[in-house]
Amino acid sequence: MAGRLAVVGAGLMGSGIAQVAAQAGWDVTMRDVTPEALARGYEAIRGSLDRFVAKGTVTAEDAEAALGRIRTTGELDAAADADIVVEAVFERLDVKQDVFRDLDRLCKDSAVLATNTSAIPITQIAVVTQRPESVVGTHFFSPVPMMKLCELVRGYKTSDETLATAKAFAEGIGKTTITVNRDVAGFVTTRLISALVVEAVKLVENGVVSPEDLDIACRLGFGHPMGPLATTDLTGVDVLLHATRNIYADTADEKFFPPELLQRMVAAGDLGRKSGKGFYSY
């Protein structure tokens, strides 16, 4: 299965999705609102492919061919002929709804409209369209070229056909999928990591343990490749804060209420690896 893919958003997730799809033979249009964002996204793809070539896992010819299948644009109209659209913009409901209103107007009737949200219920995004049966969650993991998992999330009105198309797409670009049958906030993976991160931050905040020792405990005690706080720094402290807030807003479950330390870190700009400091210094 390969066809035309539009990726809305050229950040870490969007560029990663564009890369793996292009490597799998899809013709990809990557859209963002500024030329600078598009240039950064395209260079991130080139850098990622160069690293694969250096490791010998991708040939130089295949890397160039993949780059040749990606074009960038500032116009959302470019999604009009896409078979599948994957939205990968900022993790805020109103921002995503604005994108989906436009996609609903622009895209062909047969297009699958997917969102890469990690925590927002699909139904809340789909409701702004006239085709909620065509909207589905495709939650990829960062960094997309390395991580094998994709959570497929069914909204309240997502059709079996849409889910099957999303599954074929994700598996066709090399991912293993799980199906989330009900779009509870946070789905499966974000719900689990959010609960773990909230408790981890509370333990650090209350002086029970250092970030380093907490992560050691999870790595050696539970077999986690990374501890939850190192994972938060990698993902983005702000991303985890938004996720916990979204889940708490939907559930009113106290275990997801973001601790004060998490909120203060984001307010101060300590966002993890991307800012040079989070729970660790980089």
Distances (CA, A) of 30 to 60, 72, 220, 263, 272: 22, 5, 40, 32, 26
The pLDDT value given to residue 2? 81
In the chain, what are the domains? 4-180 (3.40.50.720), 190-273 (1.10.1040.10)
DSSP 6-75: EEE--SHHHHHHHHHHHHTT-EEEEE-SSHHHHHHHHHHHHHHHHHHHHHTSS-HHHHHHHHHTEEEES-
The pLDDT value given to residue 226? 93
Q: pLDDT tens digits for 105-117?
A: 999 999 999 999 9
Helices (H), the chain: 12-23, 35-55, 60-68, 93-106, 122-126, 160-172, 189-205, 211-222, 228-235, 237-251, 260-268
Task: Work out the mean pLDDT of the chain and round it to a whole number.
Answer: 96
pTM of the model: 0.90
The pLDDT value given to residue 91? 87
Residues with Cβ within 8 Å of 16's Cβ and at least 6 positions away in sequence, in order, are: 44, 48, 140, 142, 143, 144, 145
Spatial separation of the C-alpha atoms in residues 140 and 152, rounded to whole Å: 9
CA atoms within 13 Å, Cβ hemisphere of 156:
9
DSSP 8-state symbol, 113: E
The pLDDT value given to residue 235? 87
Residues with Cβ within 8 Å of 18's Cβ and at least 6 positions away in sequence, in order, are: 5, 7, 10, 28, 30, 41, 45, 70
Averaged pLDDT in 10-residue chunks for the chain of 282 residues: 93 97 98 97 98 97 98 97 97 95 98 94 97 98 94 98 98 98 93 96 98 98 96 93 91 96 98 97 96
Q: pLDDT tens digits for 74-91?
A: 999 999 999 999 999 998
